[in-house]
Structure 1
Amino acid sequence: MQQLSLESGRSKTIETVPIEHLILSRFNTRRTRPQADIERLADRIERLGFEVTRAPWACRGEGDSLEVFAGGTRLEAARTAGKTEIPVVVHEGYSDDEIARLADEDNEADEYHARVPVLDVWAEYHRLWKDEGWTQARIGAAKGCDVPTVSRRVKWHSSLPSVARQATCDGIFDEGHCEALSSLTCDVASLARWLTTEQAQAELVAEVLGKHRGKTEGIKPTVATVRDAAKRWKAMIEAAGDALDRFSDDGWRHAFVAALVESNARSLAAVNAAYARTSKAKAAADEGEARRKRAEADEAGRLAEEERARTAAAEMIAALTARVVLGDAREAFTSAPDGIHLLLTDPPYGQDFQSQRRKTSPKKATIANDGEVEARALLRNVLALAYPKMDDDSTLLCFTGWRNEPAFRNVIEAAGFTVKGSLVWVKANHGTGDLSGSFAPRHERIIHAVKGKPGLRKRPDDVLYGKDKQNSEHPTEKPRDLLRQLIEATTDEGQLVADPFAGSGSTLLEALALDRAIWGCEIDEMWHRKITDALMETFK
């Protein structure tokens, strides 16, 4: 082992290393190694031996391995020549950035070296940026070039057409040619059927190379030649884009592009000719369309008026049905509108049973969330959400049973409302319950509470009667005439009435009939559908 240098924690030593311990480093810039070059160098090594002054450069890898970052071709040639060990300049204490820079330094052109192909250089810049996550500034600092150069090389690796890459690989193009070529773009998506950036660049290269055949074959075209060709192509593409923009209708835009494709337009004159043909066809079609519209004007007006009427009705229905939410009131209230003047509702309040009176006809279904404890928690949550949505002077009317009224009063007051009184609704028929051990119940309670100081429009008695026939299916529907009395007493036309436990929708339907705005929620999908069906039927 021979030490070459030692400074600032870094060292370089020449070591003779078993060849099986040597692997290529990811920082080795060269990606392509022609077999002829390897065999030529292997022959030299067989004849002259492996010269120490031509030792590959490497750094420590995992275990006993050394990663060769410069001299990969020499390593392959040594393997081909049957060498079992070779001298290696081992670099220790060097950062990745320094290794990346050193990989390019051992790149002089002599019998042991061949310049790294420019495509391999681009690939390494792209790898450092994409795979290693280096910034372009870091790559530039490591490789000794400015950021714009890094940016171009990264872009060229993935964007240049294959014919341009081959011309570069063959030495016909250099980076100056590539820079002139990459200035040519065709990024208008609508023109892609006619010409893309890759296609335009490839055809430009073919055009330039086509002029260097015969007597001038092998003569490298100048950068100015590529730049001038790109200028002509850009003028043609710009003219096509401007012409495309003159057509506002997608159909005629497609027709213009089809004309470009059909004529294989590759000159400014050809683009202008395609535009002229398309414009002429459009003018003829426009005139025909104008005649048709004039002939059908009266009919179109009539149909439009009918459509406006249908649309207005549909929008009204959509607006109303959108005000009736399917789901849990605790979630729905978060998106409820502000300014509620009346919250009139019949929440679950602990019934959780089916009547035993019916022996032959089907019983009504139980109500969701109607366990006693669950019902109180539900009402507490809903009223906490509802209170901020209420108008400053607004009313809460909450149906309940006598057993739950004290608990419901506490829940209502805890939400911020002031309880004003207890109304009694006298039913037309007595209710269900214990059929042999209690008096037949013929009334329900309605807790009257307020936010602020709303006034009453009418002052009905606190004992109310509702005579309208109730729905025979929903277990807790209230008579429409009872609801009418409550709505008219507490709101004016246009004010917002809400029911977060809508049930059959009778409160919302009666409020709508009285020209009030509505918002409601129903957790049962079947009843929600019946409410929306009833709203749609109202506007037929």
Structure 2
Amino acid sequence: MKKRAICNRTLTCSDQELLELSRYLLTLNSQVGVDDINGRVIQQDFFDVAQYLPKESIDLLIMDPPYNLSKNYNGHLFKEKEKGAYQDWFLSVLELVKPLLKTTATIYVCSDWKTSIIIAPLLEQEFYVRSRVAWEREKGRGSKSNWKNNTEDIWFCTVTDKYIFNVDAVKQKRKVIAPYRHKDGQPKDWQEEEDGNFRLTYPSNIWTDISIPFWSMPENTDHPTQKPEKLIAKLILASSKPGDLVFDPFLGSGTTAVVAKKLDRSFAGIELNQEYCCWALKRLNLAEKDASIQGYVDGIFWERNTLSKRSK
């Protein structure tokens, strides 16, 4: 195990924890119902297990598949493919997951810009594409010969024209730079608070308020492509109701499952790597005692690096 600084809060599992937690992982070899997978982490390859999952059961699908990049996922290597080969691979995922979706389901697919070019036509072929969200990764690497790439995409799709979008649940609280007032002196579409003047704003498809998990954050793990809890919280709150089934076929270190649990949704996820699965289970156990999500306080999403008094 890596030797870490005392203040490093990255979540890990000891050998004993891995042994104990692995006993709670689910494997499937026959058809199951929703109750059989609800609240469970399934340690298998999605391609092997998809046939056993309940049809038309998923309310919200959050997919963070391997991008078309060569990446080492804790010993499981995913190699960059030719465009056509990656499209074939991605389409095979969509074909397996599509029968699992309710007609009212929403789909979010994470991607980088290069992979987006490849998968966009396939998403349009299989679903209704509503929007593409671009969110800022403030850890983007610099480049001397190109523009610094510090954004990633999330494709917002639905199965039909009937879907959920809870806009009031994902408004962002922003400081008011020019606090206009009515003729009677009252604030116009903003509120005076002890910490300043604020307005709840409608969410756009450009997100600049996301912090990538890093070593001082308790949600951080050693997963190479971990998504922030705040990012996933926006997707879940916008496109599901309490009790709805949120499903992630590439669960990684468990962020989708953890956030779904914190927000009172049902969940299930699949992950091939056993250590990642155990990290997810440990995070789920910790969520029973602490349901907080950094940057989301009292039902409000705050701008990056700002806090309400209750969160300090």
TM-score range, shorter chain: 0.5 to 0.7
State yes or no: 1:499 paired with 2:248. yes
**TM-score, with structure 2 as normaliser:** 0.61
1:331 pairs with 48, 73, 86, which one? 48
State yes or no: 1:456 paired with 2:165. yes
On the 8 A contact 2:63/2:249 being kept in 1, the answer is yes
Trace 1:54-453 onto structure 2 (pairs within 5 A): 323-337=40-54, 338-353=56-71, 365=74, 368-373=77-82, 375-414=86-125, 416-431=126-141, 435-453=143-161
Q: SS of the counterpart of 1:404?
A: helix
On the 8 A contact 1:468/1:481 being kept in 2, the answer is no
1:469 pairs with 205, 213, 238, which one? 213
Instruction: Specify whether residues 424 and 442 from structure 1 end up closer, same or farther in structure 2 by C-alpha distance, changes over 3 A only.
Output: same
On the 8 A contact 2:261/2:284 being kept in 1, the answer is no
- Per the TM alignment, residue 425 of structure 1 is displaced from its structure 2 partner at its CA by 0.7
What amino acid does structure 2 have at the position aligned with 1:500?
P
Higher strand share: 2
Within 2, Cα distance between the matches of 1:536 and 1:509? 9
On the 8 A contact 2:43/2:270 being kept in 1, the answer is yes
Within 1, Cα distance between the matches of 2:70 and 2:221? 18
After TM superposition, the runs of 4+ consecutive aligned structure 1 residues lying more than 6 A away are: 316-322
On the 8 A contact 1:466/1:482 being kept in 2, the answer is yes
On the 8 A contact 2:69/2:78 being kept in 1, the answer is no
- Per the TM alignment, residue 461 of structure 1 is displaced from its structure 2 partner at its CA by 1.1
- Per the TM alignment, residue 330 of structure 1 is displaced from its structure 2 partner at its CA by 1.4
Within 1, Cα distance between the matches of 2:71 and 2:212? 25
On the 8 A contact 2:58/2:102 being kept in 1, the answer is yes
What amino acid does structure 2 have at the position aligned with 1:328?
D
Q: SS of the counterpart of 1:515?
A: coil
- Per the TM alignment, residue 386 of structure 1 is displaced from its structure 2 partner at its CA by 1.0
Q: SS of the counterpart of 2:78?
A: coil
Unaligned segments of structure 2, at least 5 residues: 1-23, 27-35, 168-201, 215-219, 290-312
Within 2, Cα distance between the matches of 1:353 and 1:438? 22
- Per the TM alignment, residue 472 of structure 1 is displaced from its structure 2 partner at its CA by 5.0
Q: SS of the counterpart of 1:520?
A: strand
Within 1, Cα distance between the matches of 2:272 and 2:234? 26
Higher helix share: 1
RMSD after superposition: 2.7
Instruction: Specify whether residues 427 and 468 from structure 1 end up closer, same or farther in structure 2 by C-alpha distance, changes over 3 A only.
Output: closer
Within 2, Cα distance between the matches of 1:521 and 1:370? 20
**TM-score, with structure 1 as normaliser:** 0.37
Within 2, Cα distance between the matches of 1:330 and 1:371? 19
What amino acid does structure 1 have at the position aligned with 2:80?
G
After superposition, the C-alpha distances for 1:261-283 in whole angstroms (9 at most, x for unaligned) are: xxxxxxxxxxxxxxxxxxxxxxx
What amino acid does structure 2 have at the position aligned with 1:334?
Q
- Report sequence identity in percent: 24
